[in-house]
Homo-oligomer: A and B are copies of this chain.
Amino acid sequence: MLFRQFFDTESSTYTYLIASAPGREAVLIDPVKPCMEQYLRVIRELDLRLVTAIDTHTHADHITALGGLRERTQCVTVMGEFTRAECVSRHVHDGERMDIDGITLEALYTPGHTDESFSFLLDSPGAPRAVFTGDVLLIRGTGRTDFQGGDPGRSHDSITGRLFPLGDHTLVYPAHDYKGWTVSTIGEERLHNPRLAGKTREQYIEIMNGLQLPDPRLMDVAVPANLACGEERSIP
């Protein structure tokens, strides 16, 4: 299996490329529109064929490359079943397993950052077990819960009820990082995430409700664009 993590320095987004060694079929998770040419370049250089592009949720801080990648490569675009982005070709439900040329990704409904957020568990023979958590679980942090149907209680339930049971050795690959972390494990976050370790559900809700973060800079542009798979429309 081939694995690459990309970092968009503008929005601090991590994008993941996973490809099978035998069939050269590839998946991208949370691709960012301004980095599309870089992904296509690597896919060409490594002699891969992009077959699937996934967004974990409707991002509010960058514009997705999903639509652009579909146009350029005819890949299938995937999001969870509760997304409002109707342009997506395939909507996966909780527990659904996608097999991409031997790469198995299981969709896990993990709301809280938004009400339509999914995580994706990589669980393939010969590959390290890893979960792509979008913005629900970050490294030593968690995604904000104050817009797009976000809910701190549901965030806590998703993290402790769906992600922590994946096992301490499962690698955690989030959609963002702002402090120089690139990867973690479930065990690390369970024991050392300052918002979660030793905190009750009520304390977590209090922390999240007290964050008072400004809206993401690109939110008013990114959310409508991402509902159209990245197509930027002038608002009438």
Contact = CB atoms under 8 A, between A and B. Distances in A.
A7 B188 CA distance: 18
B5 A179 contact: no
B182 A45 contact: no
Contacts of A38: 179-180
Nearest to A192: B45
Interface in A163-181: 178-181
A45 B192 CA distance: 7
Interface residues of A, number: 19
Contacts of A179: 9, 38
A35 interface: yes
A4 interface: yes
Contacts of A192: 45
A8 interface: yes
Contact of A46 (B4, B7, B188): B188
Contacts of A183: 4-5
Contact of A181 (B6, B180, B182): B6
A192 B48 CA distance: 14
Contacts of A188: 45-46
